[in-house]
Each structure stands twice: as C-alpha cells, then as structure tokens.
Amino acid sequence: MSTIVHLTNTNMFLSVANIKSSSVESLTINPAANQAVVRYIGNDQPYLYGNVDFAAIYDMLYKNVESIGRWVNTNLKQNDAVTCYTV
C-alpha cells in the first residue's frame, strides 16, 4: 500500500488519503508545527498530537508507509515526548 498525501491546505494540515486501517479513520499532519490530528474509527472525538518527531512526519509524507495504524501507534501513542489533546 502506498501512502498518498493530498496537499489540501487547511491551516497548514495535510490530509493523508486512501487510509486502509482498521483503527484510523482520518489522519492530517502539520509538518511546520510537528502536529498530527487523528480520528479513530468508532470515535467521533479527534485527537491532536503535538511534538511529533519530524522524521516520522517526513516518512509519512515522502516514504511508503505500509500501515497507518502502526505509524500512529509507534510515532504518536507510544512516544513519551508526544503530547495528546482531544479537540
């Protein structure tokens, strides 16, 4: 599965398209602010993750990320440096 990023500029967040995940409904990233917003399947509340490692954002933008759910778990949920807020 290749990652496709739509360069839709909404407050500098880029939407990741064609997500085929059993846990992630939508993912947008803001490389300039090191942020990501994730909406999980079955949960109407989106989550804003801050202090996301730029290397992880770069991988999402420019490399073939095979699993969006794994990327979210590894780079957002399991990284102690990353902050999380409901929005």
Q: Mind listing the pLDDT tens digit for each residue in 36-56?
A: 999 999 999 999 999 999 999
Domain containing residue 60:
4-86
Residue 23: what are its φ and ψ, rounded to 5°? Answer: -125, -25
Q: How many CB atoms lie within 10 A of CB 66?
A: 10
Model confidence at 11, pLDDT cuts 50, 70, 90, reads low
In total, how many domains does the chain have? 1
Q: Please tell me the pTM assigned to this model.
A: 0.83
